[in-house]
């Protein structure tokens, strides 16, 4: 069995000097095409991941990810005065494409709802607040999309998502969510669809810290042939927010009806994405949002019981600050792995010096990809 990862090369997936592009998710279609769905927004002096110009766009590669023609870019969702955040994409076994994302409504102080868990200021005058998680379906390869379906949750509009849905062997879909009631810490839950994402059922909680010590969010789900489910999630310990924390893991042996107590892994970084490889190993890729900023990966050789951090692979380590990462991966037929990510860099007239990365105005954020393989 392969024990280590080796990097081959980097490619540019999407780079637009006029836009701020981030949070990319890659999917391999049954016909061999690769799709990447991206959150793209206008480039402004101040960066924000809930900018009202945020839209979900789709790009294609027909040569296994080596080249990406910007002319293939199409818009999946772009709603007025809303930020369409963290889009993800999955192809179902029947060929249907399904995209999931969450939204922020943008407005002035008088429009902000009372008793709302997620409210962000944009510029001190305008604000953004979440308006729920949504899914969209396409039956023609992404040329057209059905109307969005809102995923219900016990916290109403305070529900977010950052990773693709998964399809179980019986055809059920499962979506990984995180949510919060006002004044509470984030908690992780999953919801199911029995009809291909046209409707969603009741939630099941994976982890909720009732003591108020830990935020758990941005979960990733993986189904294994043993029928085990793994949920890997980002975590923040209260009052220790500067860089984040280790990844936490919970497992289920009954298809997500119940979940094991969360365990802290040895993986530092966030958020995660999981992929079972042809070898049987599990790949975890994650942003590394402390110096040196970038993207990293490691393997589990035992179905997620342990993670091989001594052989952690650095994919990139040249981000200008913690605004990096959100990687996802697929494995090509020849066994190579393709991981997409985003990095930020300062405008050409700005030079990096000292520790002033955090004050960089109007950075360029672009989407790249790394080819790697097991060795």
Question: What integer pLDDT is reported at residue 45 of this predicted model?
Answer: 83
Give the integer Cα–Cα distance in Å for 65 and 71. Answer: 15
Mean pLDDT for 119-130 is 85
- Per-residue model confidence as pLDDT tens digits over 238-257: 766 566 789 999 999 999 99
Which residues, at least 6 apart from 17, have a Cβ–Cβ distance to it below 8 Å?
43, 364
- Per-residue model confidence as pLDDT tens digits over 13-42: 999 999 999 999 999 999 999 999 999 999
349: pLDDT strictly greater than 60: no
* Pairing, β 82-91 against β 74-77: unpaired
Highest mean pLDDT, choosing among 135-149, 153-167, 201-215? 135-149
Question: What integer pLDDT is reported at residue 241 of this predicted model?
Answer: 59
237: pLDDT strictly greater than 90: no
181: pLDDT strictly greater than 80: yes
Mean pLDDT for 158-174 is 96
Nearest of 30, 356, 365 to residue 167 by alpha carbon: 30
Decide: 339 and 315 in contact? Cβ < 8 Å.
yes
- Per-residue model confidence as pLDDT tens digits over 43-66: 988 888 889 999 999 999 999 999
Decide: 265 and 249 in contact? Cβ < 8 Å.
yes
Question: What integer pLDDT is reported at residue 165 of this predicted model?
Answer: 98
CA-to-CA dists, residue 114 to 73, 111, 132, 168, angstroms: 38, 9, 16, 38
Which residues, at least 6 apart from 324, have a Cβ–Cβ distance to it below 8 Å?
287, 288, 289, 293, 294, 295, 316, 341, 342, 343, 344
Q: Return mean pLDDT, the chain.
A: 92
Any idea which fold 5-326+352-374 has? Answer: Neuraminidase (2.120.10)
313: pLDDT strictly greater than 70: yes
Question: What integer pLDDT is reported at residue 240 of this predicted model?
Answer: 65
Mean pLDDT for 120-142 is 91
pLDDT band at 358; cut points 50, 70, 90: very low
**What percent of the chain is predicted at pLDDT more than 90?**
78
Question: What integer pLDDT is reported at residue 126 of this predicted model?
Answer: 85
pLDDT band at 109; cut points 50, 70, 90: confident
Nearest of 237, 154, 270, 142 to residue 202 by alpha carbon: 154
- Per-residue model confidence as pLDDT tens digits over 277-287: 999 999 999 99
């Amino acid at each position: 069995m392969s024990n280590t990862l080796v990097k081959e090369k980097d490619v540019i997936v999407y780079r637009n000097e006029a836009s701020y592009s981030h949070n990319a998710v890659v999917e391999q279609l049954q016909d061999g095409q690769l799709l990447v769905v991206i959150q793209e927004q206008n480039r402004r002096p101040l960066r924000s991941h809930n900018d009202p110009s945020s839209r979900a766009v789709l790009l294609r590669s027909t040569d296994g990810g080596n080249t990406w023609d910007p002319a293939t870019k199409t818009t999946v969702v772009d709603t007025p005065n809303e930020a369409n955040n963290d889009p993800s994409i999955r192809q179902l076994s029947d060929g249907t494409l399904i995209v999931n994302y969450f939204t922020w409504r943008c407005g002035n102080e008088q429009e902000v709802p009372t008793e709302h868990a997620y409210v962000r200021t944009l510029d001190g005058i305008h604000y953004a607040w979440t308006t729920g998680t949504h899914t969209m379906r396409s039956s023609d390869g992404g040329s057209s999309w059905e109307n969005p379906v809102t995923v219900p949750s016990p916290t109403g509009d305070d529900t977010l998502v950052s990773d693709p849905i998964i399809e179980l062997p019986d055809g059920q879909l499962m979506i990984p969510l995180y949510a919060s009631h006002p004044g509470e810490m984030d908690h992780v839950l999953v919801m199911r669809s029995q009809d291909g994402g046209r409707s969603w059922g009741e939630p099941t909680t994976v982890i909720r810290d009732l003591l108020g010590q830990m935020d758990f969010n941005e979960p990733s789900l993986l189904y294994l042939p043993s029928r085990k489910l793994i949920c890997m999630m980002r975590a923040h310990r209260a009052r220790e927010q500067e860089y984040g924390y280790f990844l936490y893991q919970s497992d289920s042996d009954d298809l997500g009806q119940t979940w094991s107590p969360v365990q802290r892994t040895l993986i530092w970084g966030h958020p995660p994405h999981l992929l079972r490889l042809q070898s049987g190993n599990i790949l975890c890729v994650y942003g590394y949002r402390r110096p040196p900023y970038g993207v990293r990966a490691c393997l589990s050789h035992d179905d997620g019981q342990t993670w091989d951090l001594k052989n952690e692979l650095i994919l990139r380590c040249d981000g200008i600050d913690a605004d990096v990462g959100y990687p996802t991966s697929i494995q090509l037929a020849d066994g190579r792995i393709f991981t997409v990510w985003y990095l930020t860099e300062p405008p050409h007239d700005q030079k990096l010096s000292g520790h002033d990365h955090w004050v960089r105005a109007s950075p360029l954020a672009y989407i790249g990809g790394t080819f790697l393989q097991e060795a």
